[in-house]
Amino acid sequence: MEKAAEKPTKPKRKPITTLPRGRPTLYCDALDELAFKFCLLGATNDDLARSFEVDPGTIDDWLIKHPTFSSAIKKGRAEADAKVASRLFARATGYEHKAVKIASTPDGAEHITEYIERFPPETAACIFWLKNRRPDKWRDKLDTTVTGADGGPVQHSVTVKFV
């Protein structure tokens, strides 16, 4: 009896799920520091995408896949927000700082005078602060409810006259 010829076996391929898909990522650890600095300047995710020349969805993916990138962005934004809030508070409550005035005399000599410059509270900063921090007490829009007798519906009637 003759032996049947064996079929050549195909080489085994890796399952599709383990093969890399799409373009390789442009992410590298150096982007963490750049993202932090951009966020200190007020960058949004769209701004970051333009700066790194990637799609905004890529930034969203990096935020999920790279915890150090996400952390850098959160830290940069928190630091920037804290600094702005501090400056707004100073403008709302008034502040002072040391300053220097430099003047020259007719003979060309410089005369340096140190003084304290004072800034009074700014009404606009106060309003902005209070409207955002205490909207329950400082909002522009008041809720008004009109009710009829004993809190019921308002009764009305229409009279039409034909002349």
Same domain assignment for residues 78 and 113: no
The per-residue pLDDT for range 78-117, each reduced to its tens digit, is: 999 999 999 999 999 999 999 999 999 888 889 999 999 9
Same domain assignment for residues 103 and 66: no
Same domain assignment for residues 46 and 86: yes
Same domain assignment for residues 78 and 100: no
The per-residue pLDDT for range 15-61, each reduced to its tens digit, is: 656 666 677 788 999 999 999 999 999 999 999 999 999 999 999 99
Please count the structural domains in the chain: 2
Same domain assignment for residues 87 and 47: yes
Based on the number of CB atoms within 10 Å of its own CB, is 48 exposed (0-12), middle (13-18) or buried (19 or more)?
Answer: buried
Question: Which tokens hold the place of 78?
Answer: 């928190």
pTM score: 0.61
Backbone angles phi, psi at 102, to 5 degrees: -110, 125
Range of the domain at 101: 94-139
Same domain assignment for residues 69 and 116: no
Contact 56, 45 (CB under 8 A): yes
What's the rounded Cα separation, in Å, for the pair 62 and 53?
14
Does residue 33 form part of some domain? Answer: yes
Same domain assignment for residues 71 and 39: yes
Does residue 53 form part of some domain? Answer: yes
Does residue 146 form part of some domain? Answer: no
